[in-house]
Amino acid sequence: MTPGHLGVVCHRGENSAIVLFSRRGHPLGEVALPLRLVRLQTTGNPYQLIALEPDLGPLLLQIKLKPFSLHRLGLPGHSRMPKQLTPAPWGYLLGDRNGRIDYLDPTGQRFKTLTWSKPITEIAPLGRDQLMIASPSAQGFGLYQVSS
Mean pLDDT of 10-34: 85
What's the gap between Cα 99 and its chain centre?
16
**DSSP designation for 24:** T
As a whole-number percent, the residues of the chain with pLDDT over 70 amount to 95
The tens digit of pLDDT for each residue in 29-62 reads 888 888 888 888 888 888 888 898 887 778 888 9
CB within 8 A of 15, min separation 6: which ones?
32, 33, 34, 35, 36
What was the pLDDT predicted at 54? 83
pLDDT of residue 75 exceeding 60, the answer is yes
What predicted TM-score, i.e. pTM, was given to this entire model? 0.80
pLDDT-derived band at 132, boundaries 50, 70, 90: very high
Cis peptide before 58 (omega within 30 of 0): yes
Q: How many CA atoms lie within 13 A of 32 on its CB side?
A: 5
80-148: which CATH architecture? Beta Barrel (2.40)
What was the pLDDT predicted at 3? 57
| Domain chopping of the chain, boundaries | 1-74, 80-148
Are 54 and 81 in contact by the 8 Å Cβ rule? The answer is yes
